[in-house]
Amino acid sequence: MILSMTGYGKASAEFQGKKITAEIKSLNSKALDLQTRVAAIYREKEMEIRSMIGAALERGKVDFSLYIERDEASAALPINRSILKSYVEQIHAIADELDLEEPDEHWFPTLLRLPDVMSKAEVLELTDEEWAVASKVVRQAIDALMDFRRQEGAALEKKFAEKVDNIEALLAQIEPYEQARVEKIRSRIVEGLNSIPEVQVDRNRLEQEMIYYIEKLDINEEKQRLRNHLQYFRQTMAEGHGQGKKLGFIAQEMGREINTTGSKSNIAEMQNIVVRMKDELEQIKEQVLNVM
């Protein structure tokens, strides 16, 4: 089964009053283009995270986030009691020393605005227990994205198979017009010559020239090569993921044979069929860019 490069995954877990969440999404790209946003406490593990993602995803434009949401109790900014107590003692001491009036009961909001009373969140060290939880969340998000890629890949494979079958069916529709085309060309040339009565025609030379002209318009080789490309496309899809670039190359070769067939198709019915084949192939080319 082929894989799509498009995908999305998200996973979360609770650990000591906080919610650890990993979120990852990917789009198509020729190589792995990875952007990460990691909470400060997990920065030391960023290279390990990038390695995990790279090993699983291989290719794609990938956007990854690992962040923390705290509950209300743990998110509240704590009051530094020792600093607040020191401020109060100093204010009382200064008031006594300078014989100043003691502050009234409304001075508490002012105390809370003094420097460092409201403590900044302390710098935490990442424990093995927390990283075990966080790394599991990262892995779960990656697995969810890979599931998404497999589902998208299955849909792409179904669509490609349908388009390849359509091209093959259209190719078969060309065949009835080929013999009729030869007769039309022959009749047109003969009628043109007969309309010029003063021209003496060497019938043997005329036959040789018509055979040469008709052979130049022959599309049997193009049809056979196109059939081979269609079969090779099916075989490559069956080989599994990692075949996106190869499928793109095969689609290009299919396009060359279809274009050559179109250039040799000098009757409207054949040209209309070629246009429909090009339309089917263009839909393959648009979507093959999303294949791993």
8 A C-beta contact, residue 25 and residue 62? yes
Global confidence as pTM: 0.71
Confidence class for position 219, pLDDT limits 50, 70, 90: confident
Q: How far from 180 is each of 176, 187, 222, CA to CA, in Å? A: 7, 10, 18
Q: Which residue has the higher pLDDT, 261 or 189?
A: 261
Tens of pLDDT, residue by residue over 21-37, are 999 999 999 889 999 99
- The pLDDT score that the predictor gives to residue 194 is 67
The CATH architecture one would assign to domain 7-74+128-150 is 2-Layer Sandwich (3.30)
DSSP 8-state assignment for residue 46: H
Q: Are strands 18-27 and 32-38 parallel, antiparallel or unpaired?
A: unpaired
Residue 60 predicted with pLDDT over 60: yes
Domain residue ranges in the chain: 7-74+128-150, 78-112, 153-288
Tens of pLDDT, residue by residue over 241-282, are 778 899 999 999 999 999 998 888 778 888 999 999 999 999
Q: Is 146 exposed, middle or buried (0-12, 13-18, 19+ CB in 10 A)?
A: middle
Q: Which segments of 4-116 are extended strands (E)?
A: 7-15, 18-27, 32-38, 60-70
